[in-house]
């Protein structure tokens, strides 16, 4: 900003010289033209409206870039001022997403977490929740690549006298949201090998098995078997803080099935 002021003063010197000269004849005209030209010039660089100026926007962008480069925590007032100039909430959110991925690109995870936290506060309506979960998943997978491949290996013995037609698994967090963190239906059932459940089986990306492993949650697994003439179900509760290498083996035995 000081540079802009200095340039303005230099440009104004010949005009001031003309206005102060006693023999000048067009002082009022020159004054008005100068007033509007330099007024517009200053407005162009100070206004937060990108249609008439980008100085403030560029200043905030530079501040954000500096914070990201040192992996710092982004302050809410800087981010809010940077986003407030957009014509809609959706455009503001997309601009925030762009900054978020810039932080991920530089592996500035503290910056990315602070940006995500501020976006979650600023864009708290329901239509932004799924995109927020997507950002959370990308942050988690980038920051903890070893946990990104977390999985459940489900081994089962079929119920007695059951010809399995289909098999379903549902994984949830007791006391948590009602949405399952994983759900899978299998129609060609081969119980000779374990069934795998991972983040790809989530109903909402980011609220998934990988997050449960990361947070060391206690999870509930429901298995539902459809036989030729009846159905059975079985339940398991697993504390993931005891899992090894982000893999959990679970066993459903023949005597554990309950007729539904």
Answer whether residue 48 shows pLDDT above 80: no
- Min mean pLDDT across 53-67, 103-117, 141-155, 239-253 is at 53-67
Answer whether residue 102 shows pLDDT above 60: yes
Answer whether residue 44 shows pLDDT above 70: no
pTM score, two decimals? 0.69
- Min mean pLDDT across 27-31, 97-101, 114-118, 252-256 is at 27-31
Most distant CA pair in the chain, distance: 114
pLDDT at 35: 58
**Residue 213: closest CA among 168, 146, 154, 114:** 146
Say whether 178 sits in a helix, a strand or coil.
coil
pLDDT at 30: 53
pLDDT at 51: 45
For the chain, give the percent of residues with pLDDT over 70. 77
**Residue 210: closest CA among 183, 181, 236:** 181
Band the pLDDT of 81: cuts 50, 70, 90. Answer: confident
- Convert 187-245 into a string of H (helix), E (strand) and C (coil): CCCCCCCCEEECHHHCCECCECHHHHHHCCCEEEEEEEEECCCCEEEEEEEEEHHHCEC
**How far does Cα 146 stand from its chain's mean position?**
19
Band the pLDDT of 46: cuts 50, 70, 90. Answer: low
- Rounded to the nearest integer, the mean pLDDT of the chain is 84
Both structure tokens of 167 = 């098999």
pLDDT at 64: 87
Q: Identify the residue with better confidence: 152 or 8.
A: 152
* Residue labelled with tokens 């081969």: 190
The CA angle 102-104-106, to the nearest 5 degrees, is 75
């Amino acid at each position: 900003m000081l540079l802009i002021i200095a340039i303005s003063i230099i440009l104004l010197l010949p005009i001031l010289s003309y206005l102060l000269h006693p023999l000048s004849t067009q002082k009022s005209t020159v004054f008005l033209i100068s007033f509007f030209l330099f007024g517009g010039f200053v407005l162009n660089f100070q206004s937060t409206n990108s249609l008439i100026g980008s100085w403030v926007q560029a200043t905030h962008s530079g501040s954000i870039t500096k914070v990201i480069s040192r992996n710092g925590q982004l302050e809410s007032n800087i981010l809010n001022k940077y986003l407030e100039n957009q014509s809609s909430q959706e455009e503001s959110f997309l601009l925030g997403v762009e900054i978020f991925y810039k932080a991920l690109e530089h592996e500035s995870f503290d910056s990315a977490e602070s940006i995500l936290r501020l976006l979650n506060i600023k864009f708290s309506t329901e239509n932004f929740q799924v995109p927020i979960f997507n950002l959370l998943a990308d942050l988690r997978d980038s920051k903890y690549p070893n946990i990104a491949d977390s999985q459940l290996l489900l081994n089962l013995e079929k119920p007695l006298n059951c010809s399995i037609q289909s098999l379903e698994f549902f994984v949830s967090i007791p006391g948590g949201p009602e949405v399952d963190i994983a759900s899978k239906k299998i129609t060609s059932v081969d119980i000779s090998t374990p069934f795998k459940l991972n983040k790809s089986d989530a109903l909402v990306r980011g609220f998934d098995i990988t997050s449960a492993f990361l947070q060391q949650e206690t999870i509930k697994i429901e298995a539902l078997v459809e036989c030729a003439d009846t159905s059975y179900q079985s339940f398991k509760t697993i504390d993931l803080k005891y899992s090894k290498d982000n893999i959990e083996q679970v066993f459903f035995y023949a005597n554990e099935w309950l007729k539904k």
